Amino acid sequence: MDSNQQGQQGRDGHVGLALFALAMGGFAIGTTEFGTMGLVPYFAPGLHISVPDAGHVISAYALGVVVGAPVLAIAAARLSRRIVLIGLMGCFAVANGLTAFASDYHWMLFFRFLSGLPHGAYFGVAALVAASLVPPERRAQAISRVLLGLTIATIFGVPAANVIGQLVGWRWAFALVAVLALTTAGLVYALVPADKPSRHASPLRELHALKHRQVWLALGMGAIGFGGMFAVYTYLASTLMDVTHAAPAVVPIMLAVFGVGLTAGNLISAWFADKALMPTVAGVLIWTAVALALYPFALHSVWSMALVVFLVGGGGGLATPLQARLMEVAEHAQTLAAALNHSAFNTANALGPWLAGMAIGAGFGWQSAGWVGFALTLGGLVIWALSALEDRRMANATA
pLDDT of residue 176: 92
The pLDDT, as a whole number, for residue 376 is 95
Quick check: 108 pLDDT over 60? Answer: yes
Question: What pLDDT shows up at residue 396?
Answer: 79
| Domain ranges (residues) in the chain | 10-398
What is the mean predicted confidence (pLDDT) over 154-170? 85
- This prediction has a pTM of 0.77
- CB contact at 8 A, 345 and 221: no
The continuous run of DSSP H or E covering 126 comes out as helix 105-132
Residue 346 has pLDDT above 70, yes or no: yes
Is the model more confident about 75 or about 370?
370
**Measured between alpha carbons, how far is 383 from 367 in angstroms, rounded to an integer?**
26
* pLDDT (mean) for 98-127: 90
| CA 328 from centroid of its chain's CA atoms | 20
What percent of the chain lies above the pLDDT cut of 70? 92
pLDDT of residue 215: 87
Checking if the pLDDT of 43 tops 60, the result is: yes
- Residue 36: exposure state from Cβ atoms within 10 A (0-12, 13-18, ≥19): buried
Domain 10-398 matching CATH 1.20.1740.10: the answer reads no
At 191-237, the pLDDT tens digits run: 998 877 666 655 656 666 667 788 889 999 999 998 999 899 888 88
Q: Report pLDDT digits (tens) over 137-154.
A: 787 888 888 888 988 887
Burial of 166 (0-12, 13-18, 19+ CB in 10 A): middle
As a whole number of angstroms, the distance between CA 231 and CA 169 comes to 25
- pLDDT category, 2, cuts 50, 70, 90? very low
Mean pLDDT is lowest, of 60-64, 178-182, 204-208, 217-221, for 204-208
**Residue 364 confidence class, pLDDT cut points 50, 70, 90:** confident
Closest CA to 353 of 366, 339, 335: 366
pLDDT of residue 276: 87
Please say if the pLDDT value at position 11 is more than 60.
no
pLDDT number for residue 6:
42
pLDDT at 191: 92
Query: 363 in the Ramachandran plot: left (φ > 0), alpha (ψ -120 to 50) or beta?
Result: left
Q: What is the mean pLDDT of residues 339-349?
A: 81
| pLDDT tier, 28 (very low <50, low <70, confident <90, very high otherwise) | very high
Please answer whether residues 184 and 24 qualify as being in contact, where contact means their C-beta atoms are separated by less than 8 angstroms. Answer: yes
- Under 8 Å CB-to-CB from 395, ≥6 apart: which residues? none
Q: What letters, b where the CB count within 10 A reaches 16 and e where it falls short, cover 239-277?
A: bbeeebebeeebbbebbbbbbbbbbbbbbbbbebbbeee
Q: What does the pLDDT average to over 306-331?
A: 87
Mean pLDDT, rounded, for 265-270: 89
Residues 6+ apart with CB under 8 A from 292: 228, 229, 231, 232, 312, 315, 370, 371, 373, 374, 377
> pLDDT-derived band of residue 81, with 50, 70 and 90 as boundaries?
confident
pLDDT of 332 strictly over 70: no
Q: What percent of the chain has pLDDT over 90?
A: 34
Q: For residue 127, what pLDDT band results from cuts at 50, 70 and 90? A: confident
Element (H, E) at 5: helix 3-38
Which of the listed ranges 137-146, 304-313, 335-344 does the model predict with the highest average pLDDT?
A: 304-313
Is the predicted pLDDT of residue 8 greater than 60, yes or no? no
DSSP track, 348-396: HHHHHHHHHHHHIIIII-TTHHHHHHHHHHHHHHHHHHHHHHHHHHHHH
Contact 258, 154 (CB under 8 A): yes
pLDDT at residue 275 tops 60: yes
Helices (H) and strands (E) in the chain, counts: 18, 0
pLDDT at 133: 86
Q: What is the pLDDT of residue 203?
A: 62
pLDDT at 10: 45
